[in-house]
Amino acid sequence: MTPGRGLPTTFGGEVRTATMDRICAEGVSYNRFHTTAMCSPTRASLLTGRNHHEIGNGQIAELANDWDGYAGQIPRSSALVAEVLKDYGYSTGAWGKWHNTPAEDTTAAGPFEDWPTGLGFEYFYGFLAGEASQYEPHLVRNTTVVAPPKTPEEGYHLSGGPGRRRDQTGCATTRRCRLISRSSCIGPAVACTGRTTS
């Protein structure tokens, strides 16, 4: 079977991922991961390395209930990979879709314990629901709702200030960027390198 174009070089694809290649070469890799065919449980399993029922994510976040394995909250006794990597000196961040916070906790008032920054990530930029509009997404930076742009020319920016032109990946054209497309269960991510210029 031929690897897809969106796969990282670490697993035979075409998207260059030097850090992930280095980590894998040092002996850390997932090569027999079980997917659940639903986004919230798959992401929870990937982030904890545990079965989705053992960590209360038997189904998507909006359908959480009080049955064993379906509470929709990752127990604090289950360390996420972000917490482990942080302990080893890595910087951690989550971008894009995060569909692992109970729906009633996704308001601007929180609580924020089950948001990415409450679960070990140092930075988050994305959306907390199962889907978002490509044109008018409800975005969050860490625990703050990102105000929508006032004009279409402003657009949304990973690099901050308004008024920068955007290329096809959605990044400001003053940065060198590439789109890293991963499984739709995990969500897309944009990796930008280089300095931002004014």
Q: Is the pLDDT of residue 164 over 70?
A: no
The terminus-to-terminus CA distance of the chain in angstroms comes to: 45
Clarify whether 53 is annotated catalytic. Answer: no
2/56: higher pLDDT: 56
- Of 43-52, 82-91, 172-181, minimum mean pLDDT range: 172-181
Clarify whether 34 is annotated catalytic. Answer: no
From the list 99, 157, 171, 177, the catalytic residue is 99
The SS3 of residue 121 is: coil
- Over residues 68-74, the mean pLDDT reads 83
Q: Is the pLDDT of residue 41 over 80?
A: yes
CA distance 181 to 176: 16
Q: Is the pLDDT of residue 123 over 80?
A: yes
> Percent of the chain at pLDDT above 90?
20
Query: pTM of the prediction?
Result: 0.64
Residues 6+ apart with CB under 8 A from 152: none
Burial zone of 23 (CB within 10 Å; 0-12 exposed, 13-18 middle, 19+ buried): middle
From the list 24, 34, 39, 185, the catalytic residue is 39
